Amino acid sequence: MVQWDDMRVFLAVAREESLSAAGRRLQVDPATVGRRVARLETAFEAPLFVKSPTGYALTDAGQRLMSHALRVEQSLQEATEEMVGQSTGLSGQIRIGAPDGVANFLLPQVCARIAEDNPDLDIQIVALPRVVSLSRREADLVVAVSAPTAGRLTVQKITDYKLHLGAARWYLRNHPKINEVADLKDHLVTGYIPDMIFDKELDYLSEVGVERVRLASNSASVQFNWVRTGSGIGVVHDFAIPSARGVVKILPDQISLTRSFYLIRHADDRRLERLNRFSEALCEGMRQEVAHLEAQA
C-alpha cells in the first residue's frame, strides 16, 4: 500500500533534485528521504530517480508517477480548503518564484506587508536568474517578465515598469560626459552575460545599441551593485533606484524602456481560494509599490 507521506517525499526530491534539499524542505534527515524513495521504488518495482551530475533526475517511471502525485496533492489542497472553509486571513505556506531583480527590489516589501496582515501565513521568495518551473512545482506561483504561450497555465498581467540607463553621480563626475547614445562607447557598461539571457525581454542593451558588455552577470542585482558602487553604467529598474543613494538616470529622454510583470499560475490552482486571494493581494501590492518607487526615481 502506497502512503501519501512517501509520495510527499517523492515530490520533494523531484522538485529539489537532491535528498538533502528535500530533507530540509520536509524537515527530515536525508537518510529517511532515501529510505522513503526506496520504499516507493520497491512498491512500484521500478527506479524513480537516476543520480546525475546535477542531482536526482526523474526516470520515465518517475515522470509518470509525478503527474499522478501532483493530482493527489492538488486534490488534498482543495479538500482542505473546502473542509476548513475560508477564514478571515491567509495561512500556510506560499512560495513565489521570480527573477532576482524583482525578488530583491520589489517583492520583499510587498510580501512583508501581506505577511503582517496575515499572521498565520509563511511566504517564501525563490529568486533565480532563470524561469522557475511551475510544472515541477518549484513554486506555487511565478512573477515573470513575459507571458508564456504553452503549458496548462493561467497568466495575468500585473503592471508595466520602466528601466533607464543609470550611473552613480561620482562615476559621472570622474568620467567623460554622456550627452548622447554614441558617447556610451567611452564608458564601461554592465549588463547580462549574452548567452545566459533567459528571456528576450531582458536583452536591454541590444535595444539600446550597446555591443560590448565589459562587466557581465546573469544577475540583475549584481549588475545594479556595479552601477551603485560606481564601477560602470547600466540599464537599471526605476523601482530599484530609490534603494541606492546617488544613482541617477542617464539620457532619460533618449533611452527609456518599458516592460511588464505577469503572474503565472498552474491552471489547476484556479480552484484554490487561498491562492486566489494571495494572488490578488500580491498583484495590488506590486502595482502600488512600482508606482510609489518609480515616482521617487
Q: What is the mean pLDDT of residues 38-67?
A: 89
> In the chain, how many domains are there?
3
Number of other residues whose CB lies within 10 A of the CB of residue 204: 21
- What is the pLDDT, as a whole number, of residue 80? 65
Residue range 205-251, pLDDT digits in tens: 888 888 889 999 999 999 999 999 999 999 999 999 999 999 999 99
The predicted model scores a pTM of 0.75
**Whose grid coordinates read 549574452?**
194
Q: Which CATH number fits the domain that encloses residue 111?
A: 3.40.190.10
Q: Is the dihedral of CA 161, 258, 248, 127 positive or negative?
A: positive
> Average pLDDT over the chain, rounded to whole?
89
Q: What is the mean pLDDT of residues 187-215?
A: 90
Closest to 265 measured CA to CA, from 130, 108, 158, 128:
158
- CA gap 229, 243 in Å, rounded: 13
Dihedral angle of Cα 190, 192, 194, 198, to the nearest 10 degrees: -170
What percent of the residues of the chain are helix, what percent strand, and what percent coil, each to the nearest 5? 50, 25, 30
Domain termination residue (choose one: 67, 84, 101): 84
Buried b (16+ CB within 10 A) or exposed e, 34-58: bebbeebbeeeeeebbeeeeeebeb
Cell of 121: 501565513
My answer on whether 117 and 96 are in the same domain is: yes
**Whose grid coordinates read 513565489?**
96
- Burial zone of 149 (CB within 10 Å; 0-12 exposed, 13-18 middle, 19+ buried): exposed
Domain termination residue (choose one: 84, 110, 135): 84
Domain housing 220? 161-257
pLDDT band (50, 70, 90) for residue 272: confident
Q: What is the mean pLDDT of residues 173-189?
A: 92
My answer on whether 97 and 225 are in the same domain is: no
- What is the pLDDT, as a whole number, of residue 144? 93
Cell of 200: 528576450
- What is the pLDDT, as a whole number, of residue 222? 96
